[in-house]
Each structure stands twice: as C-alpha cells, then as structure tokens.
Amino acid sequence: MYELHSRLKLVLYATAIPGTLVLSWLTGLIGLPCLIIGLLLFVSFFVILPLIFRCSVTLQRGILFLTFITYPKGLDLTNPASIGLYATRNFYITVKDHDEDETGVRIGVWHVLPKNAVRRFKRELHVEQAYDEDEASRTANDLTPVSSSIGDNNEELQQLAPSLRAEFPVIVPENEQLFYERLLRVPGGTVVLYLHGNTATRGSGHRSEVYKLLRQLNYHVFSFDYRGYADSDAVAPTEEGVVRDAMMVFEYIANVTSNPIFIWGHSLGTGVAAHMVAKLSSMKERGPRGVILESPFTNIRDEIRLHPFSRPFRHLPWYDFTISRPMYDNRLRFESDKHVREFPQPIMIVHAEDDVVVPFHLGYKLYRAALDKRSRSWGPVEFHRFDRAHGYGHKYLCRAPEMPTLVQNFVENYRNAIY
C-alpha cells in the first residue's frame, strides 16, 4: 500500500506542471503558443537536462566537486600570511596513482605551525609583529584558548630550543622544509590533517578559521587542495583520486613524525576521511588516532537527494534513473555509512541543526549507523548537536565557544590510544 501511494505521488509530481498547462489551455487562460513553449521548457528542464546528466560523467563530477567555484578571488596560496596564517609553509607533493605513473599529480599543501612553536621561534621565523598583533587582538576580544599541558610538548620544545636556534638562526626558503619537519618530529606534539569540502580552496575563510583554532590548541595543522582545485594540478577529480591525494599527504606526515595524527573532515571531506581511514585499515597501514567528522552525510545518494540543488528534480519518477544511479555506477559514492564500519578508530561527529547543505538528520543517521554496526571493542563514537538558534549553519561550527574544548578532550582522550 505504501509503495502504491509513493508511485501515485511521483506520478502527481511529474504531471502537475504539464497538466496545469494543458488545463489552462483548455479553459482558455493561455493560448496554444504559450502551451507549446511551456511544454518545451518543461521537457527541456525536467527531462532532457536529467538525461544529459545521466550520460555525462564529466557533468556528474563537476556538480559533485564544484572545482569551478573559487573564492576569495586573487588569493595567493603561496603566501598564507596574506590571510593571517603566518608561520605557515606552502609546499607541493606529487601523488602517483599507480606504479607506472611517471609524472603524477602535484597538489598544494599548507603546514601551519602550532602556537607554542611560533611563540618560541617567532624571531627566527620573522613573524614577531604578526604574532604580537594576533595575541593583542585575541586578548582584546577575550579569545583566550583552552589551556592544557597534555600534548602541547612545551617541555620538549624548551629543551630543544637552544640547539634548534643554533642550527637555524634564521629561517629562509633554503632551510624552511628542514626546520618545519624538525619541529614536526619534536616528541609530544599532535598533528591534525584537515580535509576540506567541495568548492574554493584551502585558503577559504571558514577553513582558515579552523586552522587558527587548532593552532591555538598547539596542534600542527596540514591542509591541502585535492586534484582539480586551486593550485593543484588541473586533473579531473574522482572519489578514488581525492582519497589517494589524502592518503599521500597522510603518508608524508607519518613518514616525518611518530606523533599522533588526527583527521578532521568537513562536508565532502568527511566522505574522503572515512574512505581513506577505511582503506588504511584494510591495508594494515598506520592510521590516525581519531577522526573528526564535521557536517557529515551517510552517502552521496542520500546527500544529493536532499541537497538544495536537487529540489526541482528529486520527486520526478526518473530521478534515480537519471541522477543518483549514474553517479553510483560511475563510482561517485562516498559511502561513509559503509566505511565507518571498516576502521576501529574513535569518531567524533559534530553537526548543526540549521545546516541546509548537509541536513542534520544525515549526520545523526551516520552516527546511528556507526553505533549499530561497529565492533564494541573499537573506539567510541561521539555525537555533538549544535542548536539552530546559534546560526552556525554548514560552515561555522568552528565559531562555537565549546568547540575548542570538545576537540581538545577528544584528542587528549585518544592521542595515546591504539585500537
């Protein structure tokens, strides 16, 4: 009975517009030319356009990854200090998709130093003025970070500072990589690899706010642009491709330091994060100590049906045939509800009730899937709801006053835990 009702509802949606046009013509409200034009527009928008989408994997990838949307305009990604990220190294990693890949794909990466390291080496880094101004601004706005002695490696930095200053009296391009990697290896530190969502670049405003939050917590932060984005090579992204990019950045970090690494994925980046960690687990490779999923979804099929862009099409009888099924067949899936069952690390999910891009209930549905399907001996799964009254929406949970404490507690609880 329910299935019959659903089918009748779909038929109603599909025939509502043409039926209204025909009825208006029959009653004389519109003329024959208007009827023909209206029907042509209906067929073009609701039939031909979905069929074109079904047949074009390029269009499917374009709509999913939105690499053509870039902001802020004119941002120089080689100069992170231009958006307030002083003491940040810009560099590039070459990702090879297979052993026979001779050229590979070049992706742009940022390494943001933690606050305690910047404070100790601000003279050598030539960021004294920027650091002091930043601290003065934070003090004026009462933005003092949560204090903690766990995982901030202050004692180790203090002991190593004299020898590091002797070796690096000044940081110049020729020794920058060596200096940053030496700081990354200092025992007791924590690293966060941030995986951004679709559109724009690693330098977008809300993303840089996350980096600054994590810097204040004394974490090393890595962020990068997937293939096809920003100053990374203009290669058409695929799910396997962007997951490969993330794995290579993770591998770079893991090869430099034995300090614990956490993954933070946002929006589409949550799909990349879950897939990547599941893949590392299946390969028996070193994985992160924990995974933070901000505004996540269950899978692309669920997300695209509920996305605002699909609103005109989602009730059409041929929606699955023309839109969701072709994306699945072309391996654009990001099945986080499947991948969270494939790795043992603890997970923290954060989601705002007023998120209109990835609806709140998809994040909660993912949480329930993780609770129900993961082994009881694996790491815990946390879920934190943010009331719609705060207006954080899809991108600004980093502005929640409780976010630093949530992140810090999660990191401190699991930085030494191995599942």
Q: Tokens 């502005």 identify what position?
A: 399
Residue partners of 194: CB distance under 8 A and separation at least 6: 207, 210, 211, 214, 221, 222, 223, 264, 265, 266, 269
Residue of 141 and 357 predicted with greater confidence: 357
CA–CA separation, 199 vs 101, rounded Å? 27
pLDDT at 196: 98
**What is the structure's pLDDT at 10?**
58
Question: What pLDDT, on the 0 to 100 scale, is given for residue 348?
Answer: 98
Strands 191-195, 105-112: pairing is: unpaired
When mean pLDDT is compared across 39-48, 113-122, 255-264, the lowest value belongs to 39-48
Q: What is the mean pLDDT of residues 230-254?
A: 97
Backbone φ, ψ for residue 265 (5° rounding): -110, 145
Q: Could you tell me the pLDDT band of residue 145, with boundaries at 50, 70 and 90?
A: low
Please list the active-site residues.
Answer: 267, 355, 394
**If pLDDT is split at 50, 70 and 90, which confidence band does 95 have?**
very high
Q: Output the pLDDT for position 346.
A: 98
Contacts for 83-86: CB closer than 8 Å, 24+ residues apart: 83/203, 83/205, 83/208, 84/130, 84/134, 84/208, 84/212, 85/110, 85/112, 85/208, 85/211, 85/212, 86/118, 86/125, 86/127, 86/130, 86/131, 86/134
* Residues 346/380, Cβ–Cβ less than 8 Å: yes
Distance CA 59, CA 117 (A): 45
| Mean pLDDT calculated for residue range 162-173 | 93
The token duo for 243 is 């997951």
Rounded-to-integer distance, Cα 39 and Cα 15, Å: 11
CA nearest 90: which of 69, 72, 106, 112?
Answer: 112
H helices of 204-311, where? Answer: 205-216, 239-256, 268-282, 300-306
Please tell me the predicted confidence (pLDDT) of residue 18: 84
Of the pLDDT bands very low, low, confident and very high (cuts 50, 70, 90), residue 3 is: low
For the stretch 381-408, pLDDT in tens is 999 999 999 999 999 999 999 999 999 9
pLDDT band at 150 (very low <50, low <70, confident <90, very high): low
**Mean predicted confidence (pLDDT) in 109-115:** 98
| DSSP code, position 80 | G
Distance CA 295, CA 394 (A): 7
Q: What is the pLDDT of residue 9?
A: 60
Are residues 203 and 80 in contact, defined by beta-carbon separation less than 8 angstroms? yes
The domain 71-415 having CATH identifier 3.40.50.1820: the answer here is: yes
Per-residue pLDDT averaged across 181-203, rounded? 96
Q: How sure is the predictor about 23, in pLDDT bands with cuts at 50, 70 and 90? A: confident
pLDDT for residue 146: 56
pLDDT value of position 20? 86
Domain boundaries, the chain: 1-55, 71-415
Q: pLDDT at residue 330 above 90?
A: yes
Length of the chain: 419
